[in-house]
Structure 1
């Protein structure tokens, strides 16, 4: 006899579960309420629900990522797939974080949400939820992925690019994994299901700072940043570099630490095509003096959550951090395995 697939739906709040209040939309619906009007889904699978939290995703933190991790790990053997309902504003960060905290999963872990609440007359919530459950039922769709507006996007490549439109998410510097059309899952990028057991990581290191460069930035902000944080991600202009206005103080602060004491990551504010610090003099001068990591074609969300996972392991040399950072996980980078950072060995 045919056995129904078992799906666990985890809810965190977000727009999909919101209702109108005097102060604007706020999460209000419980997990079971999201499935009202979608009863036909239960004909093809068994759906259980679990409320992890009920928040506007603006208020999601790394602690909530760990709660989602714990929920998936606790129930991993009981279900064929997982659907996480999440607010759209920080969905890409959660998708990135779970991609690193849950590695080698042999089952689908699907993250979705909506631009309009599910109880509104015109909404994308029901389609996104239906599509996500369809993907979660597919044994050939393992891994952490975002399903939105009919697209299946690797968890490390998803980015919100529109504030209001239903096609809010896109895949950055990598093709979509597939699409869902009329409930049918069409997979473009197929991955063999590993026979190895999944690995769950339970720690992240939150002392990571994102420094977004702006024209004429003043150097006095740098000292407290380097004192407080163990990793600084520089979101630079174009292909990457350090402007003259902060270069002297930046190099002064960085030279006080060994590479593993203060991890520096260079990335770009440009959404597509990635960074290449070696193109211009403003980038080459840092390449010649210091050891650092470069994001290349990775998304900012993936860079931020990946280094939090790596530093959460603890006690790693710079070479070990570097190796893990460039290791491809859930399609997050196209940098060839073993590519090294700039600066001669031992450079401070």
Structure 2
């Protein structure tokens, strides 16, 4: 019988109505979870362990390491791990755990719901059962999000809806699989992509420490002020992600802004260009605005999501003290976050 550990961190799936609105409860949810897992009894041995109870809007980077430690303490004793998590920051947590557990030989599955498990017409019970099925499947190795029948690579999950039960898409990457009638079906597209990734696989450095670097996400808007860069420098941020327009555009005619970004690059503060677009990623070699940004030392996020770039940069800064090694890490596919070059 396959053994699966369910770690609870809160989120809508474990929320209850209070006078102040829905809130993850500290009350014992084991009975509720076991009730929803009855359909799987006899097929899986499932243990439940509480990590913390938080609305995922309150998740901070330190929490990722708490979850990491909980996984590491138990993963050798189980066939897979399920993490119940709020949907608002699940993409960030899934991406960070993907880097922290790059190369893991079992499945670590994050799931949640749009309606509390205790509520009417909740999607939580099915998502929970699907997550257990995926976690126990030996074909899956790595970190994934399971939601509304779909299995998504942990570095590619993107929340597209605040209400719809079909809340997540796989961004710039094939869906890993679908779960129907309590069975996991791996997609051919993912199998092909995974084969190419394994061919191009490289060794992943171990995290040196749990430092939480300060990373600033700067969204480009018309008329953006160059003084924002002064703030970033004065506050000691160690990395900057720019959410540019389209393929990586920014107002290069703003000479003061570009000069200050050039100053950051000169200080070897990594500056990475992502995009405000959901699909297709960044290409700094297409337009003059992108090529100018590249000449000013801005790195490309290629087709990575902002969530993946943010967590990869945070993890990378904790894995190496060398700027050159960090750049190499950022431009290397480690766990499906970056398209494998043809």
Aligned-partner Cα distance in 1 for 2:144–2:116: 21
User: Which contiguous aligned blocks of 4+ residues in structure 1 show a shift greater than 4 angstroms?
Assistant: 196-200, 257-260
**1:224 match:** 231
Alignment check: 8 A CA contact 1:106 1:198 kept: no
Determine helix, strand or coil for the equivalent of 1:35.
helix
Shift of 1:34: 2.3
Alignment check: 8 A CA contact 1:57 1:86 kept: yes
Aligned-partner Cα distance in 2 for 1:277–1:184: 42
Cα 1:257/1:172, change in 2 over 3 Å: closer
Shift of 1:214: 1.1
Is 1:323 the counterpart of 2:322? The answer is: no
Determine helix, strand or coil for the equivalent of 2:263.
coil
2:299 to 280, 284, 293: 293
Structure 1 gap ranges (5+):
338-348
**1:340 match:** none
- What pairs with 1:299-314 in structure 2 (closer than 5 Å)? 299-314=305-320
- What pairs with 1:160-171 in structure 2 (closer than 5 Å)? 160-171=159-170
Alignment check: 8 A CA contact 1:210 1:234 kept: yes
- What pairs with 1:78-89 in structure 2 (closer than 5 Å)? 78-89=77-88
Shift of 1:220: 1.9
Cα 1:147/1:260, change in 2 over 3 Å: farther
Is 1:9 the counterpart of 2:14? The answer is: no
Shift of 1:14: 0.2
Determine helix, strand or coil for the equivalent of 1:307.
helix
**2:70 match:** 71
Is 1:48 the counterpart of 2:53? The answer is: no
Determine helix, strand or coil for the equivalent of 1:159.
strand
**RMSD over equivalenced CA pairs, Å:** 2.2
- What pairs with 1:127-276 in structure 2 (closer than 5 Å)? 127-188=126-187, 189-190=190-191, 191=194, 201=207, 203-228=210-235, 229-244=237-252, 247-257=254-264, 259=266, 261-276=268-283
Shift of 1:42: 2.9
Determine helix, strand or coil for the equivalent of 1:249.
helix
Alignment check: 8 A CA contact 2:9 2:84 kept: yes
Shift of 1:20: 0.7
Shift of 1:60: 0.4
Is 1:26 the counterpart of 2:31? The answer is: no
Aligned-partner Cα distance in 2 for 1:108–1:203: 23
Determine helix, strand or coil for the equivalent of 2:138.
coil
**1:283 match:** 290
Determine helix, strand or coil for the equivalent of 1:65.
helix
Q: How many residues align?
A: 330
Determine helix, strand or coil for the equivalent of 1:63.
helix
Aligned-partner Cα distance in 2 for 1:118–1:257: 47
Determine helix, strand or coil for the equivalent of 2:41.
helix
Cα 1:75/1:241, change in 2 over 3 Å: same
Alignment check: 8 A CA contact 1:62 1:204 kept: no
TM-score of the pair, normalised by structure 2: 0.91
